[in-house]
Amino acid sequence: MTDRLSAAGVAQLGFIRRTGRWAADAGRAIWMPKTWGPQVVIQMRKLGVDSIPIAVFLAIFTGIVLALLASYIFTGAVPLYFVGALVAKTIMMELGPVLTGMALAGRVGANIAAELGTMKVTEQVDALETLAVDVHAYLVVPRVVAGTLMFPVVTAMAIAVGVVSGWITSVNLLDLSSPEFFKGVRQFYQFKDVWFGLVKSASFGAAVALMGALTGLRTTGGAEGVGRATTRAVVLGCEAILVLDAFWALVLL
């Protein structure tokens, strides 16, 4: 029993030491812009621009469902123009950032973990080290910077598409005119609604990219290991999004 406890303790200490060293290396890598700078634009396209279709797809259906749901809830109790308020407010502050974040955790987090994991098991990461290329500056920082910059851009597009989708649904399927829908949107709109959502999504982007890189670079055991790392990256990315979502609600609201 004592042996098992001490083994667990040693394993925990090892984990903390490795994570600490990893964080220190990643922190140092930020000051090497010559290494990571040229990679950022490539990663912004790969992680951000290529993610727009899935984010737009998600936003269209979120807007439709929200409009129908609001109408169902409000019928007979609340004026119907509140549908516009609910759709816009909910999409800007919560569903836009979180649903987009979750979708991108699947796409971007998995992509990073699989790519870096494959590089790890095929010794490409070792090759970089033997060539004295800083692995964190070359592989981790550009992905985290790209995630932090592009998640808000993709989220902003998702918010716009979601609101438009809710508006089209309200006009065509509910007994609501365009002026009434936008009356609801305007009545409760605050500028904070937008920046709150975008600040959150920037932090989601950083977290998802970081989890993908962390699990990818720790991959062991060939193809099976890459699969495990990919799954773990998605799970950790989603968990990080939920924790950060609660954190920002506590801090900023």
Partner 1 sequence: MIRFTDVYKAFGKKVVLDGFDLLVPEGGTLVLLGYSGSGKSVALKHIVGLLEPDAGTVEVDGKIVHDLDRDELAELRGQIGYVFQFAALLDSLKVYDNVALGLRSRGMDEDLVAERVASSLAVVGLEDAGDRYPAELSGGMRKRVGIARAIALRPRYILYDEPTTGLDPVTSSVIDELMRRTREELGVTGLVVTHDLRSAFRVADRIAMLYEGRVRQVGTVDEIRHTDDEVVRQFIEGRP
Helix spans in the chain (H): 2-29, 33-43, 52-74, 82-90, 96-104, 110-121, 124-130, 135, 141-173, 178-188, 191-217, 222-252
Spatial separation of the C-alpha atoms in residues 166 and 186, rounded to whole Å: 15
Place of tokens 């099976």: 224
Contacts of 119 (CB under 8 A, 6+ apart): 125, 139, 216
From 133, 173, 223, 252, residue interacting with partner 1 (rule: CB under 8 A): 133
- Can you give the length of the chain in residues? 253
Note whether 98 and 151 are within 8 A (CB).
Answer: no
For residue 39, the minimal CB distance to partner 1 (Å) is: 10
Residue ranges in 9-38 that form contacts with partner 1 under rule CB under 8 A: 35
Place of tokens 């083994």: 7
For position 77 contacting partner 1 by CB under 8 A, the verdict is no
For position 3 contacting partner 1 by CB under 8 A, the verdict is no
For residue 153, the minimal CB distance to partner 1 (Å) is: 23
For position 123 contacting partner 1 by CB under 8 A, the verdict is yes
Give the total of residues touching partner 1 (CB under 8 A). Answer: 14
Locate 68 and state its tokens: 């129908």
Note whether 36 and 138 are within 8 A (CB).
Answer: yes
Q: Which stretch binds partner 1 (CB under 8 A): 67-75, 97-105, 119-127, 223-231?
A: 119-127
For position 119 contacting partner 1 by CB under 8 A, the verdict is yes
Locate 48 and state its tokens: 């951000």
Q: Which stretch binds partner 1 (CB under 8 A): 75-83, 128-136, 175-183, 234-242?
A: 128-136
For position 175 contacting partner 1 by CB under 8 A, the verdict is no
DSSP state of 49: G
Closest CA to 91 of 189, 170, 172: 189
Q: Which stretch binds partner 1 (CB under 8 A): 104-112, 115-123, 165-173, 175-183?
A: 115-123
Spatial separation of the C-alpha atoms in residues 237 and 103, rounded to whole Å: 10
Name which of 1 and 131 has its Cβ closer to partner 1: 131
Name which of 118 and 203 has its Cβ closer to partner 1: 118
For position 129 contacting partner 1 by CB under 8 A, the verdict is yes
For position 223 contacting partner 1 by CB under 8 A, the verdict is no
For position 127 contacting partner 1 by CB under 8 A, the verdict is yes
Closest CA to 165 of 60, 247, 240: 60
Q: Which stretch binds partner 1 (CB under 8 A): 55-63, 121-129, 150-158, 168-176?
A: 121-129
User: Which residues are near partner 1 by CB under 8 A?
Assistant: 35, 119, 122-124, 126-134
